[in-house]
């Protein structure tokens, strides 16, 4: 009979493989790809040529968690993409493993405090985070930059849910033409709590690609 840690590993791998109905999972060796990363250098770990999505990873100095970057060409204007990213009520329809999203405070049309609740695979406690979300639009409206940073003590923690206290996300969207834009997003998040390091990094490798597929699906509606 398998011991509990072994059963948990198998369960996490199984759930991650089928966590999203729109996730296109590569068959490459994830663990080998992750082990080959050099600290401080972006390295390509996934390329979806069909959908023009590329995922990079970087081991940060003095950090147990790696940063992730995704670049893509999307068939939409920068404003259209930004509108989907600001429509927090509909995030659970497309954002990977997200159970709930709601605005806690709307400061302006370009500044929000948002609460996100994530379903953690493998029977581990769910995670939530409060993000301070800001958006800036260039004068010609061809470039939009978005920054989201975890904030603490904004919302009381709930029993049974692990609060993510360290997370930042930077997005830049540049219009290439009237119907196409270049998307670049970087994210670093420490899931907190008792999560095996390999599992946290494995999820972070999967999440950017699956989330981009969800964004593409929403833009096509």
- Least reliable range by pLDDT among 22-36, 101-115, 126-140, 163-177: 22-36
Q: How confident is the model at residue 36 (pLDDT cuts 50, 70, 90)?
A: low
> Is residue 124 situated within a structural domain?
yes
b/e burial code for range 81-118 (CB count within 10 A of at least 16 → b): bbebbbebeebeebbbbbeebeeeeeeeeeebbbbbbb
Q: Mean pLDDT of all residues in the chain?
A: 82
Residue 167, domain extent: 53-219
pLDDT digits 0-9 by tens, 158-217? 999 999 999 999 999 999 999 999 999 999 988 887 777 666 666 777 889 999 999 999
- Numbers of helices and strands, H then E, in the chain: 4, 10
β-pair partners for 116: 101, 129
- Least reliable range by pLDDT among 8-12, 82-86, 208-212: 8-12
Of the two residues 40 and 158, the one the predictor is more confident about is 158
Question: How far, in Å, CA of 29 to CA of 181, rounded?
Answer: 31
Question: How far, in Å, CA of 198 to CA of 6, rounded?
Answer: 14
Q: How many domains does the chain have?
A: 1
Burial grade of 173 (CB within 10 A; 0-12, 13-18, 19 or more) = buried
Q: Which of 113, 105, 153 is nearest to 134 (CA)?
A: 113
> Is residue 14 situated within a structural domain?
no
> Is residue 77 situated within a structural domain?
yes
> Is residue 167 situated within a structural domain?
yes
Residue 105 has pLDDT above 90, yes or no: yes
Its pTM stands at 0.80
> Is residue 13 situated within a structural domain?
no
Half-sphere exposure of 176 (CA within 13 A, CB side): 11
Task: Please report, for the domain that includes residue 121, its CATH number.
Answer: 3.30.530.20
> Is residue 159 situated within a structural domain?
yes
> Is residue 132 situated within a structural domain?
yes
Residue 29 has pLDDT above 50, yes or no: no
> Is residue 9 situated within a structural domain?
no
């Amino acid at each position: 009979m398998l011991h509990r840690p072994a059963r948990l590993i198998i369960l996490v791998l199984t759930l991650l493989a089928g966590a999203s109905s729109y996730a296109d999972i590569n068959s490459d060796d994830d663990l080998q790809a992750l082990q080959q990363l050099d600290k401080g250098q972006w390295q390509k770990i996934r390329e979806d040529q069909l959908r023009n999505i590329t995922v990079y990873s970087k081991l940060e100095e003095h950090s147990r968690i790696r940063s992730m970057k995704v670049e893509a060409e999307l068939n939409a204007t920068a404003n259209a993409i930004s509108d989907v990213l600001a429509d927090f009520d509909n995030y659970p329809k497309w954002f990977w493993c997200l159970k709930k999203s709601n605005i806690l405070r709307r400061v302006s049309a370009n500044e929000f405090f948002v609460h996100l609740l994530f379903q953690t695979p493998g029977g581990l406690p769910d995670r939530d985070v409060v993000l301070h979300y800001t958006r800036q639009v260039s004068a010609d409206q061809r470039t939009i930059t978005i920054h989201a940073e975890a904030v603490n003590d904004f919302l009381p923690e709930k029993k049974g849910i692990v609060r993510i206290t360290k997370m930042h996300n930077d997005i830049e969207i540049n219009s290439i033409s009237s119907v196409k834009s270049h998307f670049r997003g970087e994210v670093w998040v420490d899931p907190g709590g008792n999560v095996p390091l390999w599992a946290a990094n494995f999820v972070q490798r999967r999440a950017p690609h699956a989330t981009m597929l969800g964004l593409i699906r929403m833009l096509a509606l």
